[in-house]
A and B are shown apart, each in its own frame.
Chain A
Amino acid sequence: MLPYVIRRFLYGALILLGVNLATFFLFFTVNTPDDMARLNIGGKHVTQDLIDKWKAERGYDKPLYVNDAKQGVERYTETIFWERSISLFELRFGRADGDAAGDIGQEVARRMWVSLQLALPLFVLQVIASTGFALLLVMFRHTRLDFWGVVTCVVMLSISSFFYIIVGQLVFARMLRLAPISGYVAGWDVGKFLLLPIFLSLLARLGTEARLYRAMFLEEIGKDYVRTARAKGMAEVVVLYRHVLRNALIPIVTSAGSYLPYVFLGSLVFESFFGLPGLGAYVIEAITKQDFAIVRTMVFVGSLLYIATYVLIDVAYTWVDPRVRLS
């Protein structure tokens, strides 16, 4: 099992190298640092001096991939590519491109906890609510409840999450005054600010997930062991909860797992709508301010989290399911 785990980790590192290369190409070769400088300084009177100063302040004043002025190893290490890549892998993210912006690493470390506060309870509740609703529909399968349940799911998944947010804020926050519209405080009081985003996010994703999980349950119900269990004379409820639920949880957790990176990254839309200073809101701010350093860093952090999650899920599988280990 250990060689398998090591292999997975190495492959993950290889993927991360690829991501790094791709993002560097996208951010520095498609548009050169000069273009970024011109865009960032703005205005009509952009002189070469200003551009050079801007580049020097941010460490972009070196050749991209190969430094012809140097000899030996320094030909490759004294370049933007080498410096940027090394600092990313060491998790030193450096300063943002904006003039007043601070250190990206500190921001990420601070904002990650805010994102976690929103996303972790959301993730758990999401799995519970969607599985619960799907189980309800499966228990009453082939009845009117199931039929209209699925119709509701299809309608719900056809509605953009913005509608849930805007209508939810209008109804629950402004009209009924059950929760504040948006905002954030540190400490335990944050609960009341998280209530509405969590609830609306649950609602927005319920249709898609419940329908998917229902299909997974139904696929499981058609299998032989379920018929055997029924033939033994077990009650339907026992069959459903003891046999089907447990086996269907494997594909459910896998599909829910693909959402895990966002637990850390936070939901872009929900965070910025509800004024939560998490990583998602950070990304949106960076995009509006066209701060490429932040976007580049977030691409790296996002894929790092994604790869880490998948390696962990894979490793967990080998532990839970011996068949994976043997193949």
Chain B
Amino acid sequence: MKLVVLWTDATVWALVACAVAYAALVLRTPNLRASWRKVFRDAPALSSAIVLALCLVVTVADSVHWRRALPPAAGTPVGAPVQYEPVTRSALDAALTELIESREVTYSRPFDYLSFTKDTVSVNGQLRRVAPRLLHGGVHLADPEHQWKADLLARGGIGLLRGLLLALAAGALLTWLLGRGRGTGFFETAGAIWRNEGEIPWRAALWTVVVVGLLAGVVTSYMGWYHVFGTDTTGNDVLYQALKSIRTAFVIGALATVATLPLAVVLGIMAGYFRGWVDEVIQYVYTVLSSVPNVLLIAACVLMVQVFLDKHPEMFETGVERADVKLFLLCTVLGLTGWASLCRLLRAETMKLRELDFVQAADAFGVSAWRIMTRHVFPNVAHLMLIVTVLDFSALILYEAVLSYVGVGVDPSMNSFGGMINLARKEMSRDPVVWWSFAAAFGFMVTVVLAANLFADGVRDAFDPRARAFRPRLMVPKKSKVA
């Protein structure tokens, strides 16, 4: 077995490491800790954080890749280099092997045991059009017409039960941990959570865990027996594609926003602090950049990247590596073209800050410009960076679909929500409609984007009090006590 470190894998791991480092910083810094507490005081933000954390687990699991060694062919001399399979697998693939291997011939409806398309077969010498049995979906049923419903119900019920047990176990663990922290008994803590007492709305978090647990329990209990979201035109399981797409969405959302940061932060603070010709030049550069309509600029850059990749096919061993480099470069392009708005924001904020007394005082003490910018200005604009990053995250996931449609998105061989929608577009004009791939893409994408949006709103509210205007507020006095 050979570990394959793809470009995006490395960056995903680096980002996770950065996130851990940031979390450590938050725990050490009282005012950051207070702001993040404020984020999680918001029930939608807390619930979304749980959903996003689960997606992150999928992403990280899908970011460990390897290639298995092939058994040596007959007649190879001892000591010859080991050959590896052309297929690159990830930890997620290993967990979902049954989905990968249960490949059908073509379309099939969710939970169905018959193929969607009909074949001509001869029955007793007569030619008849019948839908053949699927190769994997519901293949364990001997007499599907009678057993199918009962089997579905039984498996669903077991799945629900399993999911519920899992969720309850998670809830109990949480209650126990909370109780230990607060120094209250288990049932006392459970009661407090049920009545939604305390600062953090744990009840909402528990409901989220229960809902996610039930869904996951049901889906996993059908996995391998039926195709929960059906299969696509080449017979691949749609659920598998949707799960794989989560990583693509996360990589684009996270990597592309992070890629904007270096340029935006350095240039924005420099322009705001130095003023004069530095400011003029930086303003000129970002005005040029933002005056080209975004899609066109990205399309132009990606086309050029494509030509470059076509010219150098020898650089990549497998198709996966090539698609991955393309994704990495796409994120870089998005980062290099998208820093103008954050830069403008940071410049304006720095201009305000540099007139304040503490910066003036530091200047009077002879602190160097570099040190003022890093120690005094940067920490005071970092919250803007955070807010813009989380807000852009969901926008980029949506944007990926547009780019894939235009033809400058991720590689077609890579699973992504944009690619799924693109295929679904043709399927939806078939008659009868092939709706399941589209529905799966819709469900997963809306869940991810909605969670990202709600989380971003929570972060924005906590770090920028002026943004509260985006929130609806009921004038009914709330019962919840603020600890």
Listed in ascending order, the chain A residues whose CB lies under 8 Å from chain B are 14-16, 18-19, 22-23, 26-27, 30-31, 35-36, 39, 137, 142-144, 146-147, 149-151, 154-155, 157-163, 166, 169-170, 211, 214-216, 218-219, 261-262, 265, 268-269, 283-284, 287-288, 290, 292, 295-296, 298-299, 302-303, 306-307, 310
Contact = CB atoms under 8 A, between A and B. Distances in A.
A158 B304 contact: no
B469 A218 contact: yes
A326 to B, nearest CB: 20
Given A26-B304, A154-B454, A160 B421 contact: yes
B446 A166 contact: no
A160 B299 contact: no
B407 A288 contact: yes
CB-CB nearest 3 A-B residue pairs: A18-B288, A215-B469, A150-B472
B425 interface: yes
Given A283-B299, A295-B300, A302-B293, 5 more contacts: A18-B284, A39-B307, A162-B401, A162-B425, A306-B293
B293 A39 contact: no
A219 B469 CA distance: 7
B308 A31 contact: yes
Nearest to A221: B469
B442 A39 contact: no
Given A31-B304, A287-B408, A154 B469 contact: no
16 contacts: A18-B284, A19-B288, A22-B289, A30-B304, A31-B311, A39-B307, A144-B474, A147-B474, A159-B442, A162-B425, A169-B428, A170-B433, A268-B402, A283-B406, A287-B406, A299-B293
Interface in B117-155: none
Contacts of A16: 291
B392 to A, nearest CB: 14
A170 B428 contact: yes
Interface size class of B (residues with CB under 8 A): 35 or more
B74 to A, nearest CB: 34
B472 A262 contact: no
Nearest to A22: B288
Contact of B296 (A27, A151, A163, A295): A295
Contact of B449 (A27, A158, A295): A158
B402 A157 contact: no
Contacts of A26: 300-301, 304
Contacts of B284: 14-15, 18
B405 to A, nearest CB: 6
B454 A166 contact: no
A262 B307 CA distance: 28
Contact of A215 (B454, B470, B475): B470
Nearest to A175: B433
B328 interface: no
B27 interface: no
Given A15-B284, A170-B428, A269-B402, A27 B293 contact: no
Nearest to B475: A142
Nearest to B285: A18
A154 B401 contact: no
Nearest to B457: A154
Nearest to A310: B291
B169 interface: no
Most B CB contacts (10 A, CB to CB) among A16, A166, A170, A261 go to: A166
A143 B474 contact: yes
A14 B288 CA distance: 9
A265 B446 contact: no
A197 to B, nearest CB: 15
A137 B471 CA distance: 12
Contact of A150 (B406, B438, B471): B471
Contacts of B473: 142, 147
Nearest to B448: A158
Given A22-B288, A26-B301, A295-B299, A162 B421 contact: yes
A296 B310 CA distance: 20
B293 A166 contact: no
Nearest to A212: B470
Nearest to A289: B407
A36 B307 contact: yes
B420 to A, nearest CB: 10
A170 B435 CA distance: 11
A151 B472 contact: yes
A9 to B, nearest CB: 14
Given A142-B474, A158-B446, A170-B428, A303 B291 contact: yes
Interface in B281-309: 284-285, 287-289, 291-293, 295-297, 299-301, 303-304, 306-308
A149 B285 CA distance: 40
B103 to A, nearest CB: 26
B445 interface: yes
Given A36-B307, A149-B472, A166-B428, A155 B296 contact: no
Given A35-B307, A144-B474, A303-B292, A27 B425 contact: no
A158 B424 contact: no
Contacts of B454: 154
Contacts of B407: 284, 287-288
A149 B473 CA distance: 11
B394 interface: yes
Nearest to B310: A39
Contacts of B474: 142-144, 147
Contact of B398 (A22, A160, A295, A303): A160
A327 B295 CA distance: 35
B308 A15 contact: no
A259 to B, nearest CB: 11
Nearest to B308: A31
B445 A160 contact: yes
A269 B405 contact: yes
Contacts of B453: 154, 157-158
A160 B293 contact: no
A269 B295 CA distance: 11
A299 B307 contact: no
Contact of B446 (A14, A31, A159, A214): A159
Interface in B397-441: 398, 401-402, 405-408, 417, 421, 424-425, 428, 433, 438
B295 A268 contact: yes
B450 interface: yes
